[in-house]
Chain A
Amino acid sequence: MMRPILLALTALLAPALVALSLAVAPSVRRRGAPAAALTILASLASFGAAVALLFEHSARLTVPWLRTGARVIAEVGVNVDGVSTSMLVVVTFVALCVQVFSLGYMHDESPPAFGRYFAYHALFLFSMNLLVLAPNLLQLFAGWELVGVTSYLLIGFYYKKPSAAHAAVKAFWVTKFADMGFLFGLLTLFVATGSFSFNVALTPPVAVAVTLLFFLAVVGKSAQFPLHVWLPDAMEGPTPVSALLHAATMVAAGVFLVVRADPLFAQAESTRTVMLVVGVGTALFAALLALVQTDIKKVLAYSTCSQLGYMIAALGAGSMLGGFFHLTTHAFFKALLFLAAGSIIHAVGSNELSKMGGLARRMPVTFAAFTIGALSLAAVPGFSGFFSKDLVLEAVAGKLGSIPLALLVATAFLTAFYMGRVLVVAFLGAPSSDEAAHAHEAGWSMKLPLLALAALSLVAGFFAAPFAKLHGQAYHFHFGGVAAVGTAAGLLGLVLAYTLSSARIARATRAVSELARGSAVDRFYEYSFRRVTLVLSDSLAWVDRYVVDGMINLLGYRTIDAGRGMRPLQTGMAPDYVLAVVVGAASLAAWTVLR
């Protein structure tokens, strides 16, 4: 009984300890390398503990946190079960890979910036583990907000760059807006049931209200339409950060919340329908936008939105296993893709696809890793993405008249197509720039994580059955009609991407380019902001300036006028004062006598 608790506490507290010591010991942090070593050691400890937890029983340790009198309102602690353990393994593993990769990628940073980067990473890992191991929704919320903060810090890591600072702020307040939903959901839940538990029985209206509020937070965190706008901008952060936070783990926290609170969501069928619609819509919409991006990280960012849409759709269709398994495989192959992209960017010095080309020969390891990631994302049979995406497609089949299924198959085609295009443009053909022509593979600190993640992307699919067992479900693979259609769509996409010329692709996607260039959603927000918020603020400012201030100024001026008016009374002439005394005394006497 004690062992799983100790392991979970190790996983949780090792990064916390490092983050804390790096915060209070700036001298260590500013030296850079020791901070990185400490952080990676903490991640290693976390990862080791997480793997060990896979072979342990469920366990739970809570200590009272908030109480009123004898009643405990909230508890903190660790909760070890199938869901938290598998998420913990994913998170710590990807974090470890990303941190090792960062050793090479961030090598050119100054030591203080290097140390700060790893301190943020330690803080992030602690926050994420806090979220994952949370025994109740309140602690999960605390972790949720903390990862939001670290996301803000890491997106704005190059804070001297205005676009990065702007993107950090944008990410922060878009997700913060969504987090209001979480908070109100928590309050509603607490008022209705008096607890923050994942698993309580609710009356149907309350269940729908609470889960819809939670879903708002999920939409923000997991970058679903229409709050996806912050994720592409978040690519301003360092590429390993994009891999860890904005592809594999943090954005998946939204999906994780739905998985975690599955008993609550199971009681609200209408919320699930909303999730299905939003998920499918986001999957298709983001895949379309990914088609026309010229920045390799933006392609991957929109692809992340799209894949998160898959997960949300699966959860909306009631398949907790499908959503969660896709989360797991996606974490591996999307982190792999981002790190490979980071490797390219590190070599070429640019995010632009048009500056790449012909990298396959120059960077064989990166090429192999990226290809594995891309094929997995395109759900080619045998790769991990195939199994998880198949689960998702199976889950939505038959829901809402198979429209979601059709749209997700179309999305699978688009996904394969845009990934194929990136592969072709970046790695095949002739180099498009001098940097691309002279690109070379980075050191082992960057190659090793790529290889590890590539291996997992290859084989993770075959662990679907143990994964399902971990969650008390059965999984039997069968290559049915849905899988065949999905695979055909993916393969068609890849083939088309390889055979069609760039010009034809550009022509075919012109409408989408128009949409993307205008970035309609952003423009809508800006428009509504200008039209509603700014006008409202302006009118309030007008009231403040002319009515409130006016009254104050009026008071001030009247006081000055009154003072000026009373000044002649002070003549400095003694007889005048005597007169005043006489009049006052006589008045008092008259009042006393004549009253």
Chain B
Amino acid sequence: MSASIGFGFVAACAVLSALFVVRVKNLVHAALWLGVTLIATAGLYAMLDASFLAGVQVLLYVGGVSVLMIFGVMITRKHDGLVVEAESTSGPRGVFAAVGLFAVLATSIVMTPELDGAVAVETVTARHLGRSLLVDHVLAFEVVSLLLLIAIIGAVVLARRRDHGVERKELPAPRREEVSS
């Protein structure tokens, strides 16, 4: 019972903060609300007996990704203090797609009877994970590390400031398409 109340609370936090992420005007706030969603999800992980993942989530996502996003927002936007305007298109398209997608997914989840018969398996500890990663799936692990290395190098190469050579393009006039849709 208490678990259900806890789940409902955390779930409500996650959904609400996610809505804020996509709706708030201030981009910095959006990045911060993303952090809230991620923390709520980390709570859910903990409830699902994935405490290691919860820790990783907080460290990596909240501490890494959210902060990176805030930096990104700050770098790429002329800002006035901490207020960065986030433009959103109006219109039913996004709502329609999101609601439709949710309806389809929820219906399919509800209509799948085996899910209710699913039982909790024994708790997975960090020890399990570590053995699994470094013994059973060490090749995949190494491949991912290589991928991260490539991503870092790629990011550096892409984002490196070129002071000479490529000239900064003039800002083109805003296009009609952006406004109309």
A contacts B directly (C-beta below 8 A): yes
> A: which residues have CB within 8 A of B?
571-573, 575-576, 579, 582-583, 585-586, 589-590, 592-594
Of B15-23, B24-32, B47-55, B104-112, the stretch lying at the interface with chain A is B104-112
Partner of B107, one of A572, A579, A583, A594: A594
Please measure, in the bound complex, the distance between the C-alpha atom of A575 and the C-alpha atom of B178, giving whole angstroms: 11
Taking the nearest CB of chain B, how far is it from the CB of A356, in angstroms?
Answer: 92
Measured between beta carbons, the chain A residues less than 8 angstroms from B107 are 590, 593-594
The answer to whether A582 and B97 have CB atoms under 8 Å apart is yes
B93 adjacent to chain A (CB < 8 Å): yes
| Chain A residues, CB < 8 A from B105 | 586, 589
Interface CB pairs A-B, < 8 A, 28: A571-B177, A571-B181, A573-B177, A573-B178, A573-B181, A575-B89, A576-B181, A579-B93, A579-B97, A582-B97, A583-B97, A583-B100, A585-B101, A586-B97, A586-B101, A586-B104, A586-B105, A589-B104, A589-B105, A589-B108, A590-B107, A590-B108, A592-B108, A593-B104, A593-B108, A593-B112, A594-B107, A594-B108
Rounded to whole angstroms, the CA-CA distance of A572 and B111 in the bound complex is 37
Q: Which residue of A lies closest to B178 (CB)?
A: A573
User: Sorted from nearest, which 9 A-B pairs have the closest CB atoms?
Assistant: A593-B108, A590-B104, A586-B104, A586-B101, A582-B97, A589-B104, A579-B97, A582-B101, A571-B177
Which residues of A have CB within 8 Å of B97?
579, 582-583, 586
Distance, CA A209 to CA B166, complexed state (A):
90
| Whole-angstrom distance between the Cβ of B180 and the nearest chain A Cβ | 10
> Which residues of chain B have C-beta atoms less than 8 A from A572's C-beta?
177
List of A residues within 8 angstroms of B112 by Cβ: 593
Q: In the complex, which residues of chain B have a beta carbon less than 8 angstroms from the beta carbon of A594? A: 107-108, 111
**What is the bound-complex CA distance between A442 and B163, given in angstroms?**
100
B94 CB to nearest A CB, Å? 8
- Please name the residue on chain B nearest to A591 by beta carbon: B104
Question: How many angstroms between the C-alpha atoms of A37 and B23 in the bound complex?
Answer: 105
B100 to chain A: which residues have CB within 8 Å? 583, 586
Of A571, A573, A593, which one neighbours B111 at CB under 8 angstroms? A593
Q: Inside 8 A of B108's CB, which chain A residues have their CB?
A: 589-590, 592-594
B177 partner residues in chain A, CB cutoff 8 A? 571-573
Find the residue from B93, B97, B107, B111 having the highest chain A CB count within 10 A.
Answer: B97
- The residue in chain A whose Cβ has the minimal distance to the Cβ of B98 is A582
- Taken together as a complex, chains A and B put the C-alpha atoms of A594 and B104 apart, in Å, by 9
CB distance from A433 to the nearest CB of B (A): 90
Please name all residues of chain B whose beta carbon is closer than 8 Å to the beta carbon of A582 when the two chains form the complex.
97, 101
Contacts A575-B89, A594-B108 known; list 13 others, CB within 8 Å. A573-B178, A579-B93, A579-B97, A582-B97, A582-B101, A586-B100, A586-B101, A589-B105, A590-B104, A590-B108, A593-B104, A593-B108, A594-B107
B97 CB, min distance to chain A CBs, angstroms: 5
Specify which chain B residues have a CB less than 8 angstroms from the CB of A573 in the assembled complex. Answer: 177-178, 181
Q: Which residues of B contact A575 (CB under 8 A)?
A: 89
- A321 and B85 CA atoms in complex are apart in Å by 117
Residues of B within 8 A of A590 (CB): 104, 107-108
Q: Which residue of B lies closest to A576 (CB)?
A: B181
In the complex, A589→B105 CA distance in Å?
Answer: 8
Closest Cβ of chain B: how far from A592's Cβ, in Å?
A: 8
B56 vs chain A, min Cβ distance (A): 28
Q: How far is the CB of B71 from chain A (nearest CB, A)?
A: 22
A589-B104 Cα distance, complex, nearest whole Å: 7
In the complex, A579 Cα to B93 Cα: how many Å? 9
Nearest opposing residue in chain B for A578, CB measure = B97
**Per-residue interface assignment for chain B, residues 84 to 101, with 1 indicating a CB less than 8 Å from any chain A CB and 0 otherwise:** 000001000100010011
Complex CA distance for A572 and B178, rounded to whole angstroms: 11
CA distance A586 to B103 in the complex (A): 9
| Contacting residues of chain B (127-181) with chain A, CB-CB under 8 angstroms | 177-178, 181
Looking at the assembled complex, report how far the CB atom of A303 sits from the nearest CB atom of chain B, in whole angstroms. 89
Closest approach, in angstroms, between the C-beta of B80 and any C-beta of chain A?
26
CB closest chain-B residue, reference A588: B104
Bound Cα distance from A590 to B177, whole angstroms: 31
CB-based nearest A residue for B102:
A586
Q: Which residues on the A side are within 8 Å of B89 (C-beta)? A: 575
Closest chain A residue, CB of each to CB of B180: A571
Give bound CA distance, A589 to B106, whole Å. Answer: 11
CA distance A589 to B101 in the complex (A): 9
Query: A76 → chain B, closest Cβ, in Å?
Result: 78
Tell me, in angstroms, the Cα distance from A111 to B100 when the chains sit together: 92
Q: Which residues of B contact A592 (CB under 8 A)?
A: 108
Cα distance A423–B70 in the bound complex, in angstroms? 121
A150 to chain B, nearest CB (A): 75
**Distance from A304 Cβ to chain B, minimum over Cβ atoms (Å):** 86
How far in angstroms is the closest Cβ of chain A from B91?
A: 11
Tell me, in angstroms, the Cα distance from A460 to B108 when the chains sit together: 111
Tell me the minimal C-beta distance from A409 to chain B in angstroms. Answer: 100
CB distance from B61 to the nearest CB of A (A): 22
Chain B residues with CB under 8 Å of A585's CB are 101
Nearest Cβ on chain A to B115's Cβ, whole angstroms: 13
The CA-CA distance from A587 to B111 in the complex, in Å, is: 16
Q: Chain B nearest CB: distance from A362 CB in Å?
A: 98
CB neighbours (8 Å) of A589 from chain B are 104-105, 108
Q: CB-nearest residue of chain B relative to A589?
A: B104
Minimum CB–CB distance from A114 to chain B (whole Å) comes to 78
Q: Name which residue of chain A comes closest to B110, CB basis.
A: A593
CA distance A592 to B177 in the complex (A): 35
How far apart are the CA atoms of A593 and B112 in the complex, in Å? Answer: 9
A422 to chain B, nearest CB (A): 93
Instruction: State A583–B97 Cα separation when bound (angstroms).
Output: 7
CB closest chain-B residue, reference A592: B108
User: Considering the chains assembled together, what is the distance between the CA atoms of A593 and B109 in angstroms?
Assistant: 9
Nearest B residue to A579 via CB reads B97
